[in-house]
Amino acid sequence: MPWDGDKQIGIKTCAGVSVANRAKYIREEEEAQYKSKKSRGFFEPSSQSQAQRTPSVSSQSNGYGGIGSPALGHRNISDFLDEGCRNEVDSKVYRFLYACGIAFNVLHSPYWHGMVSAINDAPKGYKSPGYDKTRTVGLDHEKAKISHSLNRMTSSWTDHGVSIVSDGWTNVKGKPLISILAVFVSGAIFLSAYDYLDKFKTAINIAEPLLETIERIGPYNVIQVSTDNAPNCKAAGAIIEDKYPNIFWSGCLVHTLNLLMHNVVKNKNEQYKWIGDLYKKGRQMIKFITNHSNTHGFFYSRSRLELLKIARTRFGSYYLTFRCLLKV
């Protein structure tokens, strides 16, 4: 440690680091600084070897100015500054996600990583689009890009054909809707949704949007129409088959299996009656626990799993109820 009159100045060399290791760390630090300057274009690389480029270690192996900790051998000041900047950026991302209530699953999205990469490659001073631009020009631009991508997919319909799939459901406001999708070799595309709030779900009303979709796609591009197995849906399929003999109707397989299990549960035969009784007891058990605060709290204090109240209209509700009880 150097002396300045009666005061000691500087940093004392760690006695636990040998001279050989100290020389090694100094050499690695100087090599790292050289590579950093070279990557930022401070000087052109010469024809000298690495040993010639690196200053002599013997002149600095006297213990003054060396790296005192082996853990810091490969790191310099710029590394610490970069890490601090990255932590600050991460903090901004965390605050945005937490403040806006955005689900953490968004970090698994490839679109998230694509956005971050694009921002990194953006020109200096880039600013994000504003509210008005995002909901007008930006939305129209993305819609046009998606339509262009879908056009390339739909071009295969004339060669391989397409199936029209209809599904009836209810939105969060309780409005009955019927959605229509196109399923083909490359995947599935959502086509449209129809509001049935002021309509009866008769065979004619169900067949009407399906016929419109067939006309829009082209009757000879459509192979089949698939709907639920309800009587009105079957009748709608018959209307379509009468108008277009080349198109046939088929029921939903998942709905078919759900109806099959429904018949098994409701079967009064002594051989299968135990299944229905077990299902009723299971539903009563779930209802009793979830509808009473004391039993609900008692349950949660001893189980990490959630008790699900399965809606009857959901396909596979009987199976899901049994599976939930078995896991709990």
* Cβ(104)–Cβ(93) below 8 Å: no
Does the predicted TM-score (pTM) go above 0.75?
A: no
Q: In the predicted model, is pLDDT for residue 44 greater than 60?
A: no
Query: Which helix (H) or strand (E) covers residue 317, if one does?
Result: helix 317-327
- H helix runs in 70-109, sequence order: 77-100
**Taking the CA of residue 243 as centre, how many other CA atoms within 13 Å lie in the half-sphere pointing to its CB?**
18
What is the average pLDDT score of the chain? 79
pLDDT in tens, 313-325: 556 677 777 787 8
pLDDT reading at 95 higher than 90: yes
User: Greater confidence, 66 or 112?
Assistant: 112
Largest Cα–Cα distance of the chain, in whole Å?
Answer: 109
- The mean per-residue pLDDT over the stretch 253-273 comes to 83
pLDDT at residue 138 in the model: 94
CA 133 centroid distance within chain: 25
**pLDDT at site 210:** 93
Residues 6+ apart with CB under 8 A from 53: 34, 46
Q: Which two tokens stand for residue 266?
A: 């409701």
Spell out the alpha helix ranges (H) of 75-202: 77-100, 110-121, 131-135, 137-154, 157-160
Alpha-carbon span 5 to 11, nearest angstrom: 16
Q: State the pLDDT at residue 40.
A: 56
Q: Which of 194-208, 241-255, 265-279, 294-308 has the lowest mean pLDDT?
A: 294-308
Query: pLDDT tens across 166-180, in order?
Result: 988 777 777 888 899
Residue count of the chain, please give it: 328
Rounded Cα gap, residues 300 and 279, in angstroms:
22
Q: Walk me through the domains of the chain, giving residue ranges and CATH numbers.
A: 10-75 (no CATH), 159-251 (3.30.420.10), 258-327 (no CATH)
Interior/surface letters 92-106, b for 16+ CB within 10 angstroms, e for the rest = eeeeeeeeeeeeeee
